[in-house]
Amino acid sequence: MKANDPVYIAGHRGMVGGAIKRKLETLGYHNIITRSSGSLDLRKQEEVDSFFAAEKPAYVFLAAAKVGGILANNTYRAEFLYDNLMIAANVIHAAWKHGVTKLLFLGSSCIYPRMAPQPIKESFLLTGLLEPTNEPYAIAKIAGIKLCEAYRDQYGCNFISVMPTNLFGIGDNYHPQNAHVLPALIRRFHEAKMNNKPSVTVWGTGTPRREFLFADDLADACVYLMQHYNEREPVNIGKGEDLTIKQLAEHIREVVCYKGEIIFDAGKPDGTPRKLMDVSALRRLGWKHSTSLKEGLVIAYRDFLQQDQLKLHA
């Protein structure tokens, strides 16, 4: 991938796509192609086909997706399945049809069985039942991975797939109902601090273990793999380290400087008990994360405050 090659980032306005765009720009790539969802609906095959025919990207980062936390996944089950299926199918098919040199598809760690042995190896895919609360999203992502494999098998396409762990960072979604756990907690602790509330309630028991990777580290890994990896097998992207939701909440309380109590609502779902990625394949390929959880949380909270100020002055 050369600096002047046309590179299309699908989903550049999202947290992941935005991080990939920043990384490419930092490295000197100057022929980056983007489209907002308002000007290109990736769920519509004709629009996607026309876009690829006109722009002729040589490389594609497929980061576009409908995403959300447990509540959003479980509430909008049809949308999460349909939208993400259509996005993956349309972009991957167009990439083959219009001769894209290489495509990187971003899956998700939720594709793995709910009770997968830990840490989760890439080979555990499709070896057990999925977590019910995000099954529609997971099935759509599995379909994207299998599309990449099928187009490679039948047509020889250099399409690769990566499975990121839980992500956070600049441009995250802090919606009170639809956010993932980490940005949702940042918002909750901040609002409790601003309103002098004595406590913050966190869903579940606090015992599930999760792994969190800063989005700019993910972007660095994606660009690295686009340059150095050309195999059929998906690759996990993560830190290989996890912590409990209780520990995460305590870290966020510290970063936000909130002094109140944390209460865990055991009546709400915990989701998967543990989700730690085996990143040994990625390490063997020569990549490792560089941002600690604490460093990332400080940057994320600063980004949340900036987003909050922009809304106040809009």
Indicate which CATH number applies to the domain containing 162: 3.40.50.720
The answer to whether position 123 is within a domain reads: yes
The answer to whether position 29 is within a domain reads: yes
The answer to whether position 251 is within a domain reads: no
Instruction: Work out the pLDDT band at 270, boundaries 50, 70, 90.
Output: confident
Q: Is the pLDDT of residue 70 over 80?
A: no
Helix (H, G, I), strand (E, B) or coil at 247: helix
- Cross-sheet strand order for the sheet of 159-164: 32-33, 7-10, 59-62, 102-106, 159-164, 235-237
What total number of domains does the chain contain? 1
One of 8, 29, 137, 258 is an active-site residue; which one?
Answer: 137
The answer to whether position 186 is within a domain reads: no
Q: Is the pLDDT of residue 274 over 90?
A: no
The answer to whether position 65 is within a domain reads: yes
Q: Give the chain's mean pLDDT.
A: 95
Q: Detail the residues annotated as belonging to a binding site.
A: 11-17, 106-109, 141, 164-167, 180, 188, 203, 210, 270
Q: Detail the residues annotated as belonging to a binding site for substrate.
A: 188, 203, 210, 270
Residue 151 bears catalytic tag:
no
Whole-number Cα distances in Å, 6 to 21, 31, 32, 56, 216: 13, 5, 6, 8, 21
Cβ(222)–Cβ(106) under 8 Å?
yes
The answer to whether position 106 is within a domain reads: yes
Q: Is the pLDDT of residue 4 over 70?
A: yes
The answer to whether position 258 is within a domain reads: no
Whole-number Cα distances in Å, 209 to 132, 155, 161, 181, 212: 18, 40, 25, 12, 10
Q: Is 63 exposed, middle or buried (0-12, 13-18, 19+ CB in 10 A)?
A: buried
Provide the domain limits for residue 127.
Answer: 7-173+212-241+274-291
Q: pLDDT of 181-239, one tens digit each?
A: 899 999 999 999 999 999 999 989 999 999 999 999 999 999 999 999 999 999 999 99
The answer to whether position 179 is within a domain reads: no
CA dihedral 201, 129, 115, 177 (to 10 degrees): -20
